Chains A and B, each alone.
Chain A
């Protein structure tokens, strides 16, 4: 028998162990695994029974599902779970440890009747034990709808005492949030309710002032243990058109007082209430957010960019796939959208909105850019750091029992069933019909925070793609291991309990608060460390009909030692230094003090300051023109060229004067610098209203007499080319008086975007390039751009001589002259829609297009401006090309471009422009069936059903088309780009932070704003005249990008001092009284002026 010697034993041991270690290192369990209900004991299933009396036709929120609330009801240190049931009883599961839970519902006295919706745990009677408040709704009588308050008897039983506390509200309630709004030390309550009747008229002003006690939201003040409805006095709307589905409490404007965001389904808008600090609230939505979700469902807040400010997510019902989008989308209904806005509803777009806090009390929706806008019929969004990397990720539940959003059902199914039924001599049974609708379970969605304002879908890789009809959900640390597990209430299915297998450093906070608020609701925790800044607030109500534990969680990534600050609602503070990761801190109110210095970040002094009185007293009044009425398939209007300014000395006094271009129907104006002010010139170049939008102006010496003459172009998209789109030259008499030049150039009709003078042939006079925009009414056709050569004050068309390609240059938006190859001859750069930045190098024989594949001309986009500046101080010009940005439904890359197919497909005299983009690996038209059929009538016979259209590609739609006769334009990059000049006409792209991609950039300038000797960049833009199904692009507020050694960093608006939330189209510097002012002009705006503050550090 072989005896194994110790040495060999060790050898064999290692032989076994090493692979084991290796495989362990290689094996990574998925972030989550779904636990087995048989093992956890959590068998809750929100089962629905529909019958003749109780069904979705009789109660429209029948399929809205239940919620979950988490909390330690027996104070044993383990998180227990309470599920609400609609048609079944609510259930309480006590956490026994080791992933085993016991259903104690009956013993605890929590068996319920009626239709429960949301629930929250709060210590309402202030005894240190969590009570459970249950909201109820449904088509029940008021008695069976009253909300319930189960007071914890401290022995695993509860006693219902809502009436005693004044909380037995009979409204149709969705959810409640307990928090101390008046900061008097006890918990007050916001009650979110919903209507059960349909409202379709738009008389908001009338309806808002009404109070419907069953449908309107309410605020209850805690008066020594009894709750009093103070909604009216506090300024909380309680109107009958409210369909509240989500409420978020947070200090959104960072003033120390908790604010309220509540959502509303259907037409009524969401509300954002700022706490005035005196017991009242002010509804600020129209100011604070440029748009919201439309069918707003659940909501949550968090800090997605770790700037210490609360951001917000609202769930809606936009599907992600092409097919589901096409089945859902009907006609555009522009007028209905406009009418709602006119009546006082806010701009509302059907999509999840992710509202980024701009540090100035306002928010910008970046949901499209972040990649989280389309999660189908969604209920609970939850922002939580699921992988403990220090950044909050996003989990969204979704699913709806019946496929309601199906246009074929709307249009055809009912009558087909009617026909069938009548042939049997029966009446059609609508409920039966509803039950025949497809029932499609969908997986929930989980997104990882990329730390840069974007998210990546991890539903599959984190093993969370189990389909279901999921509604309320919470995160909770069920095993006290420092990572967040997820619990989801499902309709007609066992609840999902996901165990988090992740690692990563963490801190968990529990609270030992003062009497009145022992669980520390409203307490804020700030964590600082190396490359780490995390703020969390303890407001348990979150997501949809659900509430998390009164605890806070923070993933710390690789940080091990951090400083922690705890701010209690009463202002007392505690700071803990050098706290070690991976522990639970019990924050005690008695350890906190007054006047403890804060370690929280402060907001710097703004670098720029807006002039109280604008330097240029000009306002751009835009004529109304709805491009979509004439060209119904346009993505955005081309008629609003927006104001441009030309700045130069016109009267020879050495001071800069300003010419301000006005819109169609208005008079453009010349302002003269006089006594340190810009005043209207007594002698105006134009004494009549503009025939079209004056799209650009240039002041330069055209006739060689030493003064600046005025060259203007007209543009826009509103009328026939023959009606006033004629560039004009006005000659200066040296005193600033302008007289139209006669026969200065050939008759040119051009809807122009820009005029750019330069001495193209180095003969000492100024020649010009005029860029052609879209041919009015003929998108995407464009006319000829022009090069006009100055011959003694007369301009001749030399376009063909320089480059015949300019005759069909496309829809040019901006152009610049620059000597790119060092031969002193100006070279031309221009850009526009559906094109790259194109470079035309001038040589001996005219101009030659240079294709710079790696740099500027490599990628086509929807560029709207091209701004030169020397970023790196190397003496040559770099260029900022303002593009559409990434915060829109459009996505484009070189492998998956966006295409524009255009032709008069049906020969009816109008061009049919069809944009197609990739969904997955297939390129589909983006237009809805109804909108396409309205444009190309002949297709009505082919696509009678939406399902026939849903999967069609452009090629399927026009199967017999001669594609060689169809224009196909392409966009491969929608990012705003900074191109760095490498010499010889070669450029490379410098990467800009995502803040620069949040909005269409339409104007920009280079300047050293923070005085560090490096050139910084200021961007502005936005686009509001966009078709409603694409959605207005309004996330821009003016952006300062500071040049740092590593690249570019976005300054918050509080730091930049900029606030330009409108559609800004031009910015230029002006020197006035030895001060440099940045003038920024926008559509419908007074010209804004900023100067750089001195001595700001």
Chain B
């Protein structure tokens, strides 16, 4: 099938009577900001359409992979994405006519995002706008079409591959029912929303051999005994809210990254939307690219590596969440310690252990460190748009560490979920780095 499509594509290009040529380097823009801009535009639609954190990470990963693959295939290179689990055989080669690799990349990314997002019209108009700004007067029509079509073809293959990752199947499985054991997770206030993605552990990982490859140790055993480890961990969450420093409190909201926080004012309910944890790390990746002066090669590689790191970390973490199925601090504290206690942050609707943000931030930060070096100091202004002042970090690991502990300060995780979660995320990242780089 893939072959046939490619033959058709090639023959149509050949029929056009254009002789094989290398990339049109004179006019094809190749600044790293092209991939940044593409990713930002896709993030905008992700925020608009509202996706849960794991689903958002999947969109980022396939989008980046499609862009990265198109960018390299069109230049006749074999991208590392071919090593991803069940990646389709794409015997693609460079077209025999002028092309522009960056446009093929963006085309593949927009096309992939369009398939995975809801607001297709928003994606289309964004792409039209994007090409008008960056490519309109630079490329002739034929080169443009060649590149766009090439990108779309790669996208179609990536979308087909994505279609086999169990996403579709997990939509129609039996809906999750909370267990009624003492230590079981139950829906949390204020929305008491249904459990998010209970079967995400059944998703096909991108690099990990299985969702359980990095399975962490069990969480401390549930107990209401005031001398128990569990109780003490909960007490720490409880106490932390009152002893929090201003700076710690600032980290709580900085790393909230809840894509859909509802605000209740009487019968008025509205949601404040913002980037998810994966979106936040995509933004940090952009900062690293800009600050390091990375070229487009490096930039698309960075997005691809980081997004794969995030996506596999989510799969690994979610597998554990529904395996251990642990009660959230708000439920435990209201039941055992103080019925009126509320966490700083709205508790997201899925089990506690391990902390998603800890796992994925650890994974993303390790990959960024691998790509841009340790001790990469930067200022994170990704959330300025959502009213969060920028924060500065000594390194990616420093940031990830802060992100992890902010969940304790925010009152939505116990310490073990954070500390074990960081270990879990690093393990995921090291496997990915070893496999792909």
Contact = CB atoms under 8 A, between A and B. Distances in A.
B305 interface: no
Contacts of A910: 172
A732 to B, nearest CB: 41
A941 B118 contact: yes
Contacts of A200: 189-191, 264, 342
A701 B168 CA distance: 53
Interface in A197-239: 198, 200-203, 206-207
B267 A405 contact: yes
Interface stretch (A56-64, A149-157, A368-376): A56-64
Contacts of A909: 172
A940 B178 contact: no
B154 to A, nearest CB: 22
A100 interface: no
B51 to A, nearest CB: 10
Nearest to A912: B172
Interface string B173-201: 01111101000001101111111000000
Nearest to A909: B172
Given A339-B186, A339-B192, A630-B174, A60 B267 contact: yes
A460 interface: no
A735 interface: no
Q: What 8 pairs across the A-B complex have the smallest Cβ distances?
A: A60-B266, A200-B190, A336-B192, A206-B339, A200-B189, A203-B339, A629-B175, A415-B273
A409 interface: yes
B178 A335 contact: yes
Interface stretch (B21-29, B42-50, B420-428): B42-50
Contact of B266 (A61, A418, A626, A908): A61
B272 A201 contact: no
A792 interface: no
Given A333-B193, A335-B177, A335-B178, A201 B265 contact: no
Given A201-B330, A206-B340, 20 more contacts: A56-B266, A57-B265, A60-B265, A60-B267, A198-B264, A202-B192, A336-B193, A336-B194, A404-B269, A410-B262, A414-B263, A414-B271, A422-B385, A629-B176, A630-B174, A630-B175, A908-B168, A941-B119, A941-B120, A944-B118
Nearest to A198: B264
Contact of A203 (B120, B194, B263, B335): B335
A1016 B267 CA distance: 49
A771 interface: no
A944 B119 contact: yes
A412 B122 CA distance: 14
11 contacts: A60-B268, A200-B342, A201-B339, A333-B194, A336-B187, A339-B192, A402-B268, A404-B267, A409-B270, A630-B174, A940-B118
A540 B225 CA distance: 54
A335 B342 contact: no
Contacts of B273: 414-415
A940 B50 CA distance: 11
Given A57-B265, A410-B262, A629-B176, A415 B193 contact: no
Interface in B312-340: 330, 334-335, 339-340
A450 interface: no
Interface in A287-340: 295, 317, 331, 333-336, 339-340
B387 interface: yes
A532 interface: no
Interface string B229-246: 000000000000000000
Nearest to B330: A201
B179 to A, nearest CB: 11
A1006 to B, nearest CB: 41
A409 B265 CA distance: 13
A632 B175 CA distance: 8
B175 A415 contact: no
Contacts of A405: 267
A434 B264 CA distance: 13
A317 B178 CA distance: 29
A409 B271 CA distance: 8
A335 B269 contact: no
A456 interface: no
Contacts of A632: 175
- Chain A interface bracket (under 10, 10 to 19, 20 to 34, 35 or more): 35 or more
Contacts of B168: 908, 937
Contacts of B178: 335, 339
Contact of B268 (A56, A336, A339): A56
Given A411-B50, A628-B175, A434 B186 contact: no
A630 to B, nearest CB: 5
Given A937-B168, A944-B119, A413 B270 contact: yes
Contacts of A336: 187, 191-194
Contacts of B119: 941, 944
Interface string A409-440: 11111110010001000010000001000000
B27 to A, nearest CB: 32
B257 to A, nearest CB: 15
B240 to A, nearest CB: 19
Interface string A900-919: 00000000111000000000
Interface in B139-180: 168-169, 171-172, 174-178, 180
A342 B270 CA distance: 27
Nearest to A407: B269
Interface in B182-228: 186-187, 189-195
Interface in B244-269: 262-269
A414 B268 CA distance: 12
Interface string A924-947: 000000000000010011001000
A414 B189 CA distance: 21
Contacts of B386: 418
A909 B168 CA distance: 11
A427 B339 CA distance: 35
A944 B45 CA distance: 12
Nearest to A207: B339
B272 A414 contact: yes
A421 to B, nearest CB: 10
A857 to B, nearest CB: 36
A813 B262 CA distance: 44
Contact of B48 (A60, A412, A422): A412
A908 B172 CA distance: 7
A944 B117 CA distance: 10
A630 B174 CA distance: 4
Contacts of B265: 56-57, 60, 198
Nearest to B269: A410
B271 A410 contact: yes
Contacts of B190: 198, 200
B166 to A, nearest CB: 12
Interface in B41-75: 47-50
Interface in B105-127: 118-120
A465 B330 CA distance: 48
A698 B115 CA distance: 56
A21 to B, nearest CB: 54
B125 to A, nearest CB: 14
A937 B339 contact: no
A908 to B, nearest CB: 5
Contacts of B176: 629
A908 B171 contact: yes
A201 B334 contact: yes
Nearest to B178: A335
Contacts of B195: 335
B197 to A, nearest CB: 13
A910 B171 CA distance: 11
A335 B194 contact: yes
Most buried by B among A202, A632, A908, A940: A202
A400 B49 CA distance: 29
Contacts of B335: 203
Contacts of A342: 180
Nearest to A416: B48
Contacts of A402: 268
Contacts of A335: 177-178, 186-187, 192, 194-195
